[in-house]
Structure 1
Amino acid sequence: MAIFTGSGVALVTPFHEDESINYDKLDEMLDYHCTHGTDSIIICGTTGESSTLSEEEHMECIKFAIERVKGRIPVIAGTGSNSTYTTIQMSKEAVEDGADGLLLVTPYYNKCTQDGLIAHYTAVAKEAKAPIILYSVASRTGVNIAPETVAALHKNIENIVAVKEASGNISQISKIMQLTDGKIDLYSGNDDQIVPLLSVGGKGVISVLANVAPQYTHDICAKFFEGDVKGSCKMQLDAIPLIEKLFCEVNPIPVKKALNLMGWQAGPLRMPLTEMTEAHTAQLAKELEAFGIKLA
């Protein structure tokens, strides 16, 4: 059984103005997603600015999310690192705290080989006994997970059950599904490709869009699974202009600005991320309103 089916929100991490984690606001966001269609919480991923959280903050944030969600929907912890040892330690702690699954990005900067990826994921999976989602996003990490590598890991390691594919390469994604006989759980890592990935057997999306439109993102998936492919496709295409604005600067700059425009008080970004330009902010605000989202 899949960890989740439908829309998993790649949740932002709200900060106070002094850039400390705003746990009151995080609690509010978690509750909102549990009651507005989101099918899973992904905490401390890229969108959650995990790269600028200390390890202590990282683990506190994961534990907090698990405790506040209280089993209403699955909580998947982003515990990937460029250090295998660090990944193991954080993953084990997240599992002990009750995470329903782990999202493990490829080790960045090291740029290991495919054999290195197999060794890395095998070591983590052996120590952290929870369902694991491989996260392939070479545009950020410099390392692509080859379809053959995904297939080998899925075949040989019981708790490697899924892949978040953010390569944008539909041919690669189709190859993964062919090599795994469609048995690996596939999640889109790109909001503009939800329906294309569902069409080759995907289970859903790990979504930035869901931060601002949780029910809508859920419904794209739900319509597809209900057999209303035409309706799902229309929703996908209608969302493209907003999705483009949510990625007009590096994620999560635009989505955090969007939440602030909506009155969520998600707070600032941590450097080296900087605030969105005025021109892009105006374009984003216009597109949010055109999509039917009220601004504060």
Structure 2
Amino acid sequence: MFSGSIPALVTPFDAQGEFVESAYRELVEWQIAEGSSALVPCGTTGEAATLTKEEQFAIVRVCVDQAKGRVPVIAGAGSNDTRVAAANLHAAREAGADAALMVPPYYNRPSQEGIYRHFEALAADTPLPIVLYNVPARTVTDIQPETLIRIVSAFPKVFVAVKDASGVLTRVTQHRAGLGAAFCQLSGNDDLGLAFNANGGIGCISVTANVAPRLCADFQRACAAGDYATARDFHDRLFALHTSLFTDASPGPVKYAMTKVRLGFPDGLRLPMTWPSEASRAAVDAGLQRAGL
């Protein structure tokens, strides 16, 4: 269902922390015009952890309305409570999303069996296909390859892809070995995108695509065409930007970057997220310059 450059959209807030719908609609429109192949509202980069449920799915609804079916919308909908996660899936469907991005339970630290049972319960009643999202650095819960293979094998029509932000490149091959080459693997780390695709991935759910959508889309197209010389050139051009966007707590650096490439873009963040440090801003400026932005 998914491939290419898929931005994990920032959520624009004003100085009071209120959602700025007009800026969000403009962002969605720009992303589609620049070649992004799908959109992820209300994920980690979208500050979903600071949104109420009502805000979260209202924002998904705005994204769906603005996209108007031109690209798929994958709504962030995960929770550490299985019952809440199940309700979120229905809310995402009611908001018009095409799929849901679901992390394993965080904070609770379930066992691998607990992770499996969580997704088994969601599969029993989901109205949407699910993209598994493995991001151990944030969730403290790591979906091991054997568990992911078990989940997808049991419910292949439900779990259609993985966003792998584990940072462990060998997992691409392990997942291919267990699920076949056709299973959709998307990188969750921009800086590893080249190696991830070379190992069998077919895209990235990207932070950098917020600020460099055309370059990220062109990079993914080169990978899909097997033109890894061109893809490496794009990778080298973008690498400093990729790394700069994590020189302070995300999404602070990427929101700063947005104000540089989209003049007038709202610069608000919701606590506990804060504006990036001076050193981080300098790194972002250097990354943008290296990318030609």
SS in structure 2 at match of 1:127: coil
Structure 1 runs not aligned, ≥5 long: none
Task: Please report how far the alpha carbon of residue 276 of structure 1 lies from its aligned counterpart in structure 2 after TM superposition.
Answer: 0.8
SS in structure 2 at match of 1:133: strand
Which AA in structure 2 matches 1:195?
L
Task: Please report how far the alpha carbon of residue 264 of structure 1 lies from its aligned counterpart in structure 2 after TM superposition.
Answer: 4.4
Cα RMSD, aligned residues only: 1.2
SS in structure 1 at match of 2:205: strand
Task: Please report how far the alpha carbon of residue 182 of structure 1 lies from its aligned counterpart in structure 2 after TM superposition.
Answer: 2.2
SS in structure 2 at match of 1:123: helix
* Cα separation, 2, equivalents of 1:194 and 1:287: 17
Q: 1:72–1:264: structure 2 CA closer, same or farther, 3 Å change rule?
A: farther
Which AA in structure 1 matches 2:207?
V
* Cα separation, 2, equivalents of 1:94 and 1:120: 18
* Cα separation, 2, equivalents of 1:227 and 1:205: 16
Query: How far does the alpha carbon of each residue in 1:130-181 deviate from its partner, in whole angstroms, 9 at most, with x for none?
Result: 2111000000100100101111111111211111000111122321221112
* Cα separation, 1, equivalents of 2:291 and 2:234: 11
- Which residue of structure 1 lines up, in the alignment, with residue 32 of structure 2? 34
SS in structure 2 at match of 1:241: helix
Which AA in structure 2 matches 1:192?
D
* Cα separation, 1, equivalents of 2:42 and 2:24: 12
* Cα separation, 1, equivalents of 2:225 and 2:182: 20
Task: Please report how far the alpha carbon of residue 97 of structure 1 lies from its aligned counterpart in structure 2 after TM superposition.
Answer: 2.5
* Cα separation, 1, equivalents of 2:218 and 2:112: 36
> Is the CA contact 1:223–1:229 (under 8 Å) kept in the aligned structure 2?
yes
SS in structure 1 at match of 2:40: strand
- Which residue of structure 2 lines up, in the alignment, with residue 267 of structure 1? 267
- Which residue of structure 2 lines up, in the alignment, with residue 83 of structure 1? 81
Percentage of identical aligned residues: 35
Task: Please report how far the alpha carbon of residue 53 of structure 1 lies from its aligned counterpart in structure 2 after TM superposition.
Answer: 0.5
> Does residue 108 of structure 1 match 2:97?
no
SS in structure 2 at match of 1:41: coil
State the TM-score, normalized to the length of structure 1. 0.95
* Cα separation, 1, equivalents of 2:153 and 2:80: 24
* Most deviating of 107-116 and 221-230: 221-230
Aligned ranges 1:1-296 → 2 under 5 Å: 2=1, 4-157=2-155, 158-262=157-261, 263-293=263-293
* Cα separation, 2, equivalents of 1:61 and 1:121: 25
